[in-house]
A and B are shown apart, each in its own frame.
Chain A
Amino acid sequence: MARMTGRRALAAVPVLLGVTLAVFAVAEASPFDPVKAYAGTAGLTASQENLDQLRHNLGVDQPLLTRWWEWLTAAVTGDLGDSAVMRRPVADVITERLGWSVLLAATAFLVAIALGTLLGVLAGRRRGGLLDRTVSALAYTLEAAPAFWLGLLAIWFFALRLGVLPAGGLTDTASDTVTPDQVARHLVLPALVLGVSQLPWFFLYVRQGVGDALDEDPVRGARARGLAERTVLTGHALRAGMLPMLTLIGSRVPELITGALLVETVFSWPGIAAATVQAATAVDFPLLAALTVLATAAVLLGNLLSDLLYGLADPRVGFDG
């Protein structure tokens, strides 16, 4: 297990290098103009001379490889550079906002996995039953529903009609301080919405896995031996049925990041995902590169986690990286 982790860590380095270069190249080739993005609406009335000066100051008229190399050599020494779009050092932008995004994404992920597994087991147990049919239909609908729409619906229902949960923000709008109980209350709705939008996938795979496992010989044997249904379900079927889901947890991380962006926008959640789109359309290289490294690292970690869990859950599979 340690060997696999070590090998993965080594392999991650060229991957990160390649990804950052690719992101720089794609951003360079895109039609977005970093100067216009920096200037915003003021750019619509600025003179060409002013815009040219901005272009020179922001350093966007240098060739691609020069900028990438300068960024890389500075980044390995710890200097992540300055974000043009946020007008602040990149390190400040990230440390300020990353924590909230991680909190939201992790909570939502756990909600999705927990609820997905629970419902999947119950539905897989009696395929074709009432629970299975209703939840499956709901899952397919939710899979197609955009997270943005779910967010608006949730706000309308919980904040407006029932009035039990706040409609957005990190803390109460009128309060100055950030306290854990306020954050917890404000976290409920965005995490639920993001979790529910990721849920259908987990539910359907667990349902499929558990349903298949219940038809296999070991389960028939366990039933024949007279074991309680509950033991059969959780001890034998679930463990085998979780395998397909576990292996692909890592591949859901990019979906989570995209979903987090939409949810953060709807709920005014001060996370980093919303800044990512701004960085991309403004071709803000330092911020974009730092966020890409983070996102790539998250995906690689997700894959590593999948493989570790698979190895733990299934004794037939060794850790070969």
Chain B
Amino acid sequence: MAARTVRRATAALATGALALTTAACSNPGADTAGSGPKDSAVVGIAYEPDTLSPLLGYGKDGNSKIFDGLLAFDADMKLQPALAAKLPRVSDGGLTYTYTLRPGVTFSDGAPFTAKDVVFTYETILDPKTNNPSRTELDALKSVEAVGDDTVVFHLKYPYAPFAERTVHAIAPEHVAGGQDVNTGAFTTKPIGTGPYVLTGWSKGEKLTFKANPTYWNGAPAVKRFTMAIIKDDDVRATRLRAGDLDGAILPPNLAAGFGSDKGRKTYTAKTYDYRTVTLPTHNPVAGDTAVRRALDVAVDRQTMVDKILEGAGKPAYGPVPTDSPWFAKGTERRHDLAGAQKILDEAGWKPGADGVRVKNGVRASFPLWYLSGDKLRQDHALAYASDARKAGIEIKTQAGTWEVIEPRMKTDAVLAGGGSPGDPDFDQYLLLKSTLAGDGFNNMAWYDNGTVDRALEDGRRTNDPAKRKAAYDTVQRALVANPGYTFLTHIDHLYVVNDSWDGLSTQIEPHDHGLAAGPWWNVETWQPKNNGGTKK
């Protein structure tokens, strides 16, 4: 008797499954190419934000869609007023910043935006009980106070020239976020802000959906519905873009090339500060030797790396600053010169041994180079670097590992690292090169110790005079030529493919860590749908 029931159940199941499949197949449904009218956009991103609360670090670089900062970066990375009515007044030798707030701004729930929201946001971030891992970025800030409803004054611990750039940070409403636990409250998934978009849904692991804020102070956006689909795998993202499920996506160079001949789509190349570098630890007897550092610096063939590994989507890097930036020190480019490298090593006493690897005072020119396992780009860079170094007689043993494995070895082993943030050169270079920060977390991984650089970094951050700052950062870059504690390899471009249905698309200069704030949709609130109805694939 039981067997008959089992049989019947199996038959019913099979019929049910078959019916479902046929129903699905016979209902082509709504996802035709173009994903709906052109006043809505769907894009595919690779990383999901951990939280949507500015108090825990969301929106610290602007472009957060749901929030605004006091200031904002425009397409040329210049500061423009946003929630502030104008750029701040700097006084007391750079220790005080005074902002006048824009009047008439409201949060999306109707409550007015005032100075107390700014004070609440910054004070909560500085509070040690708030689990904000980016608190170090506001290290210069001592205190913030509201003067009336429309003025905010920041007091700094020391004169910090790029402080205004940190005030693009998103502002949270005190009347909503103030009444909850900052680390685990519902605000992290149900945010309320002053920004151009309002969050309508966050399906964790799948997508975030936004709709336009009709009362936005800078005018309601033309793109009324905006969706960001989280697709971790590059191939799946490319497939969904091609199938018409997405209007735009970030793609690696080899996959973006496949869309090159597509008439209905445009490829945007965002310039970045995203570099790949090899740390040469000071505490390693070979990598810490200045002659070896200078030799490696000229032995490495950067242009070939750009052409072959990045497929042309990038440029050679000679320091943390990209070659086309106004902060780049002219004359610090190095030519690929293998003979020159060999000469430097010969003159310093590194003589080739029997197997071609150089030796000096019994020390063999050999050290390990770690790269992050699973990251193909870093692996390719590491292997190319090792191969170039071998030609000059330096043996580099490449190994893959996760950060847990690499971290305890960072002091003596070389690491293929990445980094870079646009905006001010201080953000990047101070953490990378200051000797007092060596071994502090992941900062200054090579324990680079150069007195000239230390002094120049301090000068650069404390003065507001643009000429003096340029001179200071030029000094840093020239010192890196004389003693390159890091071999900078390439600056990587980020590629985006987007349907040609809107006007007004551009890209900013992007940092290493590109979350949902980067890409041609950094300013989706200013996109205008094309009049010809857009082109459909």
Partner of A166 from B10, B57, B245 at Cβ < 8 Å: B245
CB-CB under 8 A from B419, the residues of chain A are: 44-45
Cα distance A167–B35 when bound, in Å? 13
B235: Cβ under 8 A from any A Cβ: yes
Are A275 and B205 in touch, CB under 8 angstroms? yes
CB-CB under 8 A from A46, the residues of chain B are: 133-136, 441
Chain A, interface SS category:
helix
Q: Separation in Å of the B64 CB from the closest CB of chain A? A: 15
Cα distance A3–B57 when bound, in Å? 54
Are B136 and A47 in touch, CB under 8 angstroms? yes
Q: A97-B205, A268-B230 are in contact. Are A174 and B404 (CB under 8 A)?
A: no
Cα distance A311–B488 when bound, in Å? 69
- In the complex, residue of chain A having the shortest beta-carbon distance to the beta carbon of B36: A174
- In the complex, residue of chain B having the shortest beta-carbon distance to the beta carbon of A309: B6
B2: Cβ under 8 A from any A Cβ: yes
Are B204 and A82 in touch, CB under 8 angstroms? no
Cα distance A213–B232 when bound, in Å? 48
Q: A167-B243, A269-B206 are in contact. Are A173 and B229 (CB under 8 A)?
A: yes
Encoded as 1 (CB less than 8 Å from any A CB) or 0, chain B from 95 to 138 comes to 00000000000000000000000000000000011010111110
B25: Cβ under 8 A from any A Cβ: yes
Cα distance A76–B119 when bound, in Å? 41
Q: A38-B131, A42-B57, A114-B17 are in contact. Are A167 and B205 (CB under 8 A)?
A: no
B28: Cβ under 8 A from any A Cβ: yes
Partner of B243 from A85, A114, A160 at Cβ < 8 Å: A160
Q: Separation in Å of the A34 CB from the closest CB of chain B? A: 11
Residues 217-243 of B at the A interface (beta carbon under 8 Å): 225, 227, 229-233, 235-236, 239-240, 242-243
Partner of B184 from A87, A111, A242 at Cβ < 8 Å: A87
Encoded as 1 (CB less than 8 Å from any B CB) or 0, chain A from 94 to 116 comes to 00110000000000001100110
CB-CB under 8 A from A32, the residues of chain B are: 404
Residues 23-43 of B at the A interface (beta carbon under 8 Å): 23-25, 27-31, 35-36, 40, 42
Summed over the interface, the residue pairs from A and B with CB atoms below 8 Å come to a total of 202
Are B25 and A155 in touch, CB under 8 angstroms? no
Are B240 and A168 in touch, CB under 8 angstroms? yes
Cα distance A45–B131 when bound, in Å? 15
Size class of A's contact patch? 35 or more
Partner of B440 from A41, A48, A313 at Cβ < 8 Å: A48
Residues 245-262 of B at the A interface (beta carbon under 8 Å): 245-246
Which of the candidate stretches A50-58, A65-73, A126-134 sits at the interface with the other chain? A50-58
Are B201 and A110 in touch, CB under 8 angstroms? no
Total count of chain B residues near the partner, CB < 8 A: 78
B78: Cβ under 8 A from any A Cβ: no
Partner of B128 from A48, A53, A167, A174 at Cβ < 8 Å: A53
Are A47 and B243 in touch, CB under 8 angstroms? no
Cα distance A309–B405 when bound, in Å? 47
Partner of B50 from A40, A110, A156, A266 at Cβ < 8 Å: A40
Q: A42-B133, A47-B139, A265-B233 are in contact. Are A159 and B243 (CB under 8 A)?
A: yes
Are B188 and A111 in touch, CB under 8 angstroms? no
Which of the candidate stretches A221-229, A232-240, A248-256, A291-299 sits at the interface with the other chain? A232-240
Are A87 and B246 in touch, CB under 8 angstroms? no
Are A174 and B2 in touch, CB under 8 angstroms? no
A17: Cβ under 8 A from any B Cβ: no
CB-CB under 8 A from A143, the residues of chain B are: none
Cα distance A51–B437 when bound, in Å? 14
Are A167 and B240 in touch, CB under 8 angstroms? yes
CB-CB under 8 A from A172, the residues of chain B are: 29-31
CB-CB under 8 A from B440, the residues of chain A are: 47-48
Partner of B133 from A33, A38, A173, A235 at Cβ < 8 Å: A38
Q: Separation in Å of the B494 CB from the closest CB of chain A? A: 15
Q: A54-B131, A173-B227 are in contact. Are A166 and B31 (CB under 8 A)?
A: yes
Q: Separation in Å of the B231 CB from the closest CB of chain A? A: 6
Are A268 and B205 in touch, CB under 8 angstroms? yes
A39: Cβ under 8 A from any B Cβ: yes
CB-CB under 8 A from B91, the residues of chain A are: none
Are A96 and B204 in touch, CB under 8 angstroms? yes
Are B184 and A164 in touch, CB under 8 angstroms? no
Cα distance A97–B471 when bound, in Å? 55
Encoded as 1 (CB less than 8 Å from any A CB) or 0, chain B from 401 to 421 comes to 001110000000000000100
A307: Cβ under 8 A from any B Cβ: no
A138: Cβ under 8 A from any B Cβ: no
Q: Separation in Å of the B446 CB from the closest CB of chain A? A: 14
A321: Cβ under 8 A from any B Cβ: no
Q: Separation in Å of the A44 CB from the closest CB of chain B? A: 4
Cα distance A159–B209 when bound, in Å? 22
Are B24 and A57 in touch, CB under 8 angstroms? no
Are A168 and B236 in touch, CB under 8 angstroms? yes
B513: Cβ under 8 A from any A Cβ: yes
Cα distance A167–B42 when bound, in Å? 14
Residues 1-29 of B at the A interface (beta carbon under 8 Å): 2-3, 6-7, 10, 13-14, 17, 20-21, 23-25, 27-29
Partner of A87 from B51, B203, B236 at Cβ < 8 Å: B51
CB-CB under 8 A from A58, the residues of chain B are: 131
Are B183 and A167 in touch, CB under 8 angstroms? no
Partner of B245 from A167, A238, A269 at Cβ < 8 Å: A167
CB-CB under 8 A from A238, the residues of chain B are: 3, 7
- In the complex, residue of chain B having the shortest beta-carbon distance to the beta carbon of A161: B243
CB-CB under 8 A from A198, the residues of chain B are: none
Given A47-B437, A87-B131, A168-B245, 15 extra CB contacts under 8 A: A44-B419, A48-B441, A51-B441, A57-B128, A84-B131, A86-B50, A156-B239, A163-B243, A165-B24, A169-B245, A172-B31, A173-B227, A173-B229, A176-B211, A264-B205
Q: List 9 A-B contacts (CB under 8 A).
A: A44-B442, A48-B439, A152-B233, A168-B231, A174-B40, A268-B206, A268-B230, A269-B206, A270-B205
